[in-house]
């Protein structure tokens, strides 16, 4: 079982590291991709050596996708390849987890309309304008999409994401 995390400079440290470490604990392989291969610097100063560039991602090799928050979503949503990756997970019904600003990428991929979702409160209106049914809850699961609001929701976010992943 293999999960893809899409990150970039400015990613919220815990929202990258908690899912990464948690999936390893679960025995799941994890690849982290960013716009360029190399080391990214997280919001609070943690560094992370990414495995591959977003351009080199083969989405069909993964069973799930995680989109952490911070400044990363605005940096990755501008690439056509990012959108292609997210659409692959959406079209195949594989689990997608997006936390905090992560749902910005779901908006760009046009997959949020009519879906129950949560997010960081500062982008709530964008989610609503995009047709998402916003809920202020620690975690919202609608089909294959798991969303949460902030790092303190990580326990509930990963509990639901792992539950979905094990069903696939």
What residue ranges bind a copy of itself (CB under 8 A)?
A: 13-14, 17-18, 21-22, 24-25, 44-46, 151-152, 154-156, 158-159
Q: How many other CB atoms are found less than 10 A from the CB of residue 125?
A: 10
Q: Which residues pair with 29 in a beta bridge?
A: 2
Is there a contact between 56 and 32 (Cβ–Cβ < 8 Å)? no
Give 46 or 79: the residue with its C-beta nearer to a copy of itself: 46
Active site residues: 100-101
DSSP 106-141: HHHTT--TT-EE---GGGHHHHHHTT-EE--SS-EE
Nearer to a copy of itself, 38 or 44 (CB): 44
Please state the closest distance from residue 109 (CB atom) to a copy of itself, in A.
27
Name the minimum Å distance from CB 142 to a copy of itself.
21
Report in angstroms how near the CB of residue 47 gets to a copy of itself at its nearest: 10
Nearer to a copy of itself, 20 or 62 (CB): 20
- Cβ-based nearer residue to a copy of itself, 69 or 151: 151
Listed as own residue / partner, the contacts of 151-156 with beta carbons closer than 8 Å and 24 or more positions apart are 151/12, 151/14, 151/15, 151/18, 151/99, 151/100, 153/99, 154/14, 154/15, 154/18, 154/19, 154/99
């Amino acid at each position: 079982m293999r999960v893809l995390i899409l990150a970039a400079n400015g990613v919220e440290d815990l929202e990258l590291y908690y899912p990464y470490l948690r999936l390893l604990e679960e025995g799941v392989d994890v690849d982290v991709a960013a716009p360029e291969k190399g080391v990214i610097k997280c919001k609070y100063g943690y560094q992370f050596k990414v495995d591959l560039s977003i351009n080199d991602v083969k989405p069909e090799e993964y069973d799930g996708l995680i989109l952490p928050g911070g400044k990363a979503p605005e940096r990755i949503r501008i690439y056509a390849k990012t959108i292609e990756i997210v659409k692959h997970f959406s079209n195949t019904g594989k689990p997608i987890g997006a936390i905090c600003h992560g749902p910005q990428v779901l908006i760009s991929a046009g997959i949020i309309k009519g879906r129950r979702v949560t997010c960081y409160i500062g982008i709530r209106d964008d989610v609503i304008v995009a047709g998402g049914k916003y809920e202020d809850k620690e975690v919202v699961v609608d089909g294959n999409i798991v969303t949460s609001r902030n790092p303190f929701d990580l326990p509930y976010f990963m509990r639901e994401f792992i539950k979905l992943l094990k069903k696939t």
